[in-house]
A and B are shown apart, each in its own frame.
Chain A
Amino acid sequence: MSKSIARAVRREMHSSRAILSGVAAVTVTIIAVYCLLESALRALDQPPWLADPLTAVQRLADLPAGMPTPLLGVLGAVAALIGLIFFLNAVLPGKRARHVIADDRIAVVADDEVIASALARSARLAAGVTQEQVLVVISRRTVLVNVRPTSGIPIDETSVLTAVQQEVESMALEPQPEVRINLAATGVIGV
């Protein structure tokens, strides 16, 4: 696999933050367009639309006087919340729930949801239960298969484990997760 495609795979495993960047850019643009309007009106000797910029700056300097305290607090909280969302999105790794599948010719990246539904199917076939009785949870390093047996019909845990493990191994995932089976103590009826 060439270097550039390896880089593309690495990028595919992380969020690009494109949508939030668009939101941030639009937010800044709206604020800037309004400020531009007021300052251009001032520069062209026209009356202000909502507030004269110099008066606005002076009222800002007068805070907290001239504004109800609860409103000020709420505005501050909203601004701080938006700032926190932007900042955390910038700093957190933003790993996507995906795994790399090994292949000789092409680079393959699969969503964990797809892997989970394939593993759920093999677990369901091995256990002989319906789709609704199997729940697979995948994280980077572990695969947890929750099976609720049909009441009165025992399930062989090792055969389910073997089936799921075989499927995981044949997928050749990177990183390779560890499989755990969780058989529910209570069964379900009417399936």
Chain B
Amino acid sequence: MNGTPRVLNRVLLALLGLLFLGSGALLIALATVPAVGRWWQDRAKPATAEFAGLAARTILPGRSNSWIWIVVSLALVLLIIAMVAWVANQGKGRTDILADEYGDEDDDGAAGRVVISGAVAEQALKSALSERTDLLAATVATYALRGQPALRVRVLPRQGVSPHKLAAEVSALVQALDVVTGLRTPVLLSIGSGARTRFTKAERVG
């Protein structure tokens, strides 16, 4: 329901996974196989010497150090910004507007704009659901699905509650809300379980 970049998550996790896996495998090989150690030193030592030479050649006039370190620092700052942006993109997509429409005089006699806050639907559904004794918790949130507002209802029923009966009753509540707002907002109901449902007593009626 939310706008978590799932493909990006998987691509970046795969890249990082391969990076860690590769370096880990190299370390294990270095520790166990002498031939790999020789191969690594043959490759890495000239490269390091070249890098040290480059650092020595690029020393800024009037200072004792190369500008390479400034470039490296900037690259690391960019990497850190990218990582923060990646984390910030998880779970986004909430909105607080359920409807935003312009009406004209042909509509109902008056021109104007109507904005309905998402809190209207959230509060209405939540208060209706909180009266039920077969639910331990209910949360309602408004999300923007491809720009269109949609509601996500998450309920945690007690053990033994029939999910389809619960779904039908929430569906009836949503239809009542449709009548009130005059909209057919898409709704996703997620019936879940958690630690709280496992350790509270089951409904024994029926």
Contacts and interface: CB of A to CB of B under 8 A. Distances in A.
Contact of B162 (A25, A87, A171): A171
A35 B79 CA distance: 11
Interface in A13-39: 14, 16-18, 20-22, 24-26, 28-29, 32-33, 35-36, 39
B193 interface: yes
Given A12-B1, A22-B87, A76-B28, A105 B45 contact: no
Interface in B1-29: 1-2, 4, 6, 9-14, 16-29
Contacts of A133: none
A188 interface: no
A12 B163 contact: no
A88 B193 CA distance: 26
B120 to A, nearest CB: 17
A43 interface: yes
Interface stretch (A51-59, A139-147, A177-185): A51-59
A61 interface: yes
Interface string A51-77: 001100110111111000110110111
Interface stretch (A113-121, A148-156, A157-165): A113-121
8 contacts: A8-B1, A8-B152, A18-B90, A20-B9, A33-B80, A64-B31, A87-B17, A107-B187
A21 B189 contact: no
A106 B187 contact: yes
Contacts of B65: 42-43, 45
Main secondary structure of the interface of B (DSSP, over half): helix
Main secondary structure of the interface of A (DSSP, over half): helix
Given A4-B150, A61-B47, A105 B80 contact: no
A90 B17 contact: yes
Interface in B51-87: 51-52, 55, 63-65, 67, 69-70, 72-73, 76-77, 79-80, 83-84, 86-87
B123 interface: no
A83 interface: yes
B159 interface: yes
Contact of B40 (A20, A39, A63, A87): A63
Contacts, number: 274
B188 interface: yes
Contacts of A111: 191-193
B16 A36 contact: no
B14 A87 contact: yes
A95 interface: no
Contacts of B80: 29, 32-33, 36
Contact of B20 (A83, A104, A114): A83
A54 B175 CA distance: 67
Given A32-B79, A76-B24, A171-B162, A57 B48 contact: yes
Contacts of B76: 32-33, 35-36, 39
B164 interface: yes
B17 A76 contact: no
B13 A20 contact: yes
A54 B16 contact: no
Interface in B133-151: 145-146, 148, 150
Given A101-B164, A105-B171, A106-B171, A79 B13 contact: no
Contacts of A83: 16-24
B128 interface: no
Contact of A11 (B1, B52, B73, B164): B1
